[in-house]
Amino acid sequence: MAETLDRCCGLEVRSAALYRSFAAAAQDRPDLCALWTELARNEDEHVRVLNAARWRVPTCELSLTHLSTRWDQILRDFEAKLSAAEALSGRIDADQQLAFALGLEMSEIESLRQMLVGVTRRRPPRPIVEDHALRLADAAERFSAHPEVLKQVAQLRIRVSQA
């Protein structure tokens, strides 16, 4: 569990940095820049919550608790999406940025984060509808008419409604 918490924190830090790079590229569009800045702050909050969760569990328990290999695949998938976005970060337009962000939000990393926080609290995680996912979907509809982005928005809304 300790390794998974560390990996999740690292991915959240990288996501925040990616969103900040998108914000920097959108300086000429204050509304879009504000969206990316807000999403980066949300990722920072996820890091804070995961770090707090880590401190609630004794070190020996963190190292002895094993999680399903399914979570490892979720992390690998998320990391691959994130790496692709990072590699293209400075060379993609707003539609592509929105598509990458929606793709990250549609991953199961949020489920993993909630599970980790719930496990460390010694009670089942409370289902949380991620407000930032819905704000991203709303913003993507405002900022883009690209069919692929709109398809991802619809998929994200379905996923959130089923959470």
Contact 8, 113 (CB under 8 A): yes
Note the pLDDT tens digit of each residue in 39-71.
Answer: 999 999 989 988 888 787 766 665 556 667 778
Residue 79 has pLDDT above 70, yes or no: yes
Could you tell me the residue range of the domain that residue 15 belongs to? 2-162
Q: Give me the number of domains the chain comprises.
A: 1
CATH assignment of the domain containing 10: 1.20.1260
How far apart, in whole angstroms, are the C-alpha atoms of residue 122 and residue 45? Answer: 21
Note the pLDDT tens digit of each residue in 132-157.
Answer: 788 899 999 999 999 999 999 999 89
Contact 75, 112 (CB under 8 A): yes
How many Cβ atoms sit within 10 Å of the Cβ of residue 35? Answer: 27
Q: Which comes out higher in pLDDT, residue 7 or 55? A: 7
Confidence of residue 128 (pLDDT cuts 50, 70, 90): very low
